[in-house]
Amino acid sequence: MSKRWTTISFLILVYTCYRCTWAQQTQIPEQPTNNLELEAALPEPRAYVPDSQYLDFVYHNHEELTRFLRATSARYPNLTALYSIGKSIQGRELWVLVVSSSPYEHMVGKPDVKYVGNIHGNEPVGRELLLHLIQYLVSSYDTDQYVKWLLDNTRIHIMPSMNPDGFAVSKEGTCDGGQGRYNARGFDLNRNFPDYFKQNNKRGQPETDAVKDWISKIQFVLSGSLHGGALVASYPYDNTPNARICRSSALCAMFQTYSAAPSLTPDDDVFKHLSLVYAKNHAKMSRGVACKSATPAFENGITNGAAWYPLTGGMQDYQYVWYGCMEVTLEISCCKYPPAYELRKYWEDNQLSMIKFLAEAHRGVQGFVFDNNNNPIERASLKIKGRDVGFQTTKHGEFWRILLPGYYKLEVFAEGYSPREIEFVVVEQHPTLLNVTLQPSKQFNMPTIATTTIKTPTTKKPRKLIGFIPKDEDEIIHFPSD
């Protein structure tokens, strides 16, 4: 606790210094006091008291999972909304349960975040922990200040299983191997997304297409994808621009795996931080102990994805590059499908991590882009100067970007408006609120435009880095009848 306060005092000092040095030269607007309750001022979330009346520590098949989600949404109509983003090949609903004090509607100005579990069907610890997370959140809202704060200020979308067909053919107690990893057509869903670095020729699968559609309609700020088979938080990029040295030889490929170089994003500081938040709040992850003697030990329990092993078509690179959503791959069990009696322990190890990770959506900068009549500008392109992966505003003109404390410039560009560059400060204690007004561009003032024009994010390939088209998210909430 005292360490925390030392850190906070230090950051206040740094912040004060920033202000005294920068205020005159750069006219930083007054930092608005945030109307959010400050996360740092809240007591730690309390431990969950599991109630076997509602949910046991056992694996739930698709019917049981569906029953639990339906029952929970019926029991907590003001805190949850159940929807499906589509169906698996074998016709199982891809359920998402929203947990929030505003489950049915996006709260303007407040972030949407998500967890996706079980993308690999034979890695179901995350699938079960997400059910317990749901139960924990809904049952703690009235009694736990931290949970109340989180649900009042965040919309949390929880998809326990992205690969229900794979799960259906997986075997409890199987720690390794591939049975159930793939969807019903044998595709690895975490190799099935468009790739920034390499052509991905894999045919898009219904499960991946549903997720692509989902994330194109809701702008998620932060996301965790839960896996098993290792104990580490792995952050983008998963793929690398480096040419493959070996194509055919298995030995060569193995060598390449162990000699892989990191492939870092311009937001590497943020991704490392997000991964550390998960690892350090976890009972064991940050110790960085290898699962087996033949597997790597990860310093502090985190790794860059490509440094571990490069892969093409992963979900996290796609979300970050195309939509600016920061996703981390959370490997939470050395054994992919451990026996059910171990689930309670996994919950205890991960509970705090799962909650604290989501709270990170409230770090950095957020705000609105308006025209000079105070109308929101949709699909304005934004970029933090020096960080060449951009993001866009929603139909309400909103934007969010997770950033660590520091001094930044925001570049804002929208067709028909003069581009702007705005300086701002991020502090530890609360997100920086920043509203940007754009003026219609005058046709013939070339010099000003030339000095301030923002390039849309550069790509190595002639491909759009971002194709964000926010749509009315209400469109996708539907409630399949029984």
Tokens 């703690």 -> residue: 140
Q: Residue 247 class from Cβ within 10 Å (0-12 exposed, 13-18 middle, 19+ buried)?
A: exposed
Note if 378 is an active site residue: no
The least CB distance from residue 446 to ligand NAG, in Å, is 31
When the beta carbons of 30 and 63 are compared against ligand NAG, the nearer one is: 30
Contacts of 464 (CB under 8 A, 6+ apart): none
Min CB(75)–ligand NAG separation in Å = 8
Instruction: Write out the DSSP string of 207-227.
Output: HHHHHHHHHHHS-EEEEEEEE
In angstroms, what is the minimal distance from the CB of 369 to ligand NAG?
10
Contact mark string toward ligand NAG, 349..378, x via CB under 6 A? -------------------x----------
The rounded distance, in Å, linking the Cα atoms of 418 and 446 is 11
**Contact with Zn ion (CB under 5 A): which of 60, 62, 120, 127?**
120
122 vs 177: CA distance, rounded Å: 9
Nearest CB to Zn ion, comparing residues 45 and 117: 117
Whole-number Å distance between alpha carbons of 271 and 128: 25
Enclosing H/E stretch for 401: strand 398-401
Which helix or strand (DSSP H or E) is residue 277 part of? helix 268-281
Q: Which does 120 bind (CB under 5 to 8 A by kind): ligand NAG, Zn ion, none?
A: Zn ion
Per-residue interface string for the shown chain with ligand NAG, residues 400-439, x marking contact by CB under 6 A: ---------------------------------x-x----
* Among 429, 434, 415, CA closest to 362: 429
Residues between 121 and 150 that touch Zn ion (CB under 5 A): 123
The catalytic position among 331, 360, 398, 473 is: 331
Which of 229, 364 has the CB closer to Zn ion?
229
Distance CA(319)–CA(327), nearest Å, equals 7
Binders of Zn ion: how many residues, by CB under 5 A? Answer: 3
Closest by Cα among 201, 72, 59, 73 to 121? 59
Amino acid letter, residue 476: I
What is the CB-side half-sphere exposure of residue 24 using CA atoms within 13 A? 2
Task: Find, among 89, 120, 153, the residue nearest to 363 by Cα.
Answer: 153
Interaction partner, residue 77 (Zn ion, ligand NAG, none; CB < 5-8 Å by kind): ligand NAG
Phi, psi of 276 (to 5 degrees): -65, -35
Q: For Zn ion, which residue of 110, 155, 227, 420 counts as binding (CB under 5 A)?
A: 227
Q: Is the CB of 153 or the CB of 275 nearer to ligand NAG? A: 153
In the list 7, 9, 21, 78, the residue contacting ligand NAG (rule: CB under 6 A) is: 78
Q: How far apart are CA 271 and CA 258, in angstroms?
A: 22
CA-closest candidate to residue 387, choices 321, 327, 315? 321
Which option in Zn ion, ligand NAG, none does residue 32 bind, with CB closer than 5 to 8 A by kind? Answer: ligand NAG
Chosen residue from 21, 40, 67, 77 binding ligand NAG by CB under 6 A: 77
Binding partner selected for residue 368 from Zn ion, ligand NAG, none, CB under the kind-specific 5 to 8 Å limit = ligand NAG
Q: Is 32 in the site for ligand NAG (CB under 6 A)?
A: yes
Residue whose CB is less far from Zn ion, 174 or 452? 174
C-alpha to C-alpha distance for 119 and 188, rounded to whole angstroms:
8
Contacts of 136 (CB under 8 A, 6+ apart): 48, 147, 351
Q: Which is nearer to Zn ion, 120 or 356 (CB)?
A: 120
**Cβ distance to Zn ion smaller for residue 157 or 227:** 227
Residue 227: contacted member of Zn ion, ligand NAG, none (CB under 5 to 8 Å, by partner type) = Zn ion
Query: What is the smallest separation between the CB atom of 70 and ligand NAG, expressed in angstroms?
Result: 16
Residues designated catalytic: 331
The binding site for ligand NAG (CB under 6 A) comprises 32, 77-78, 368, 433, 435
The binding site for Zn ion (CB under 5 A) comprises 120, 123, 227
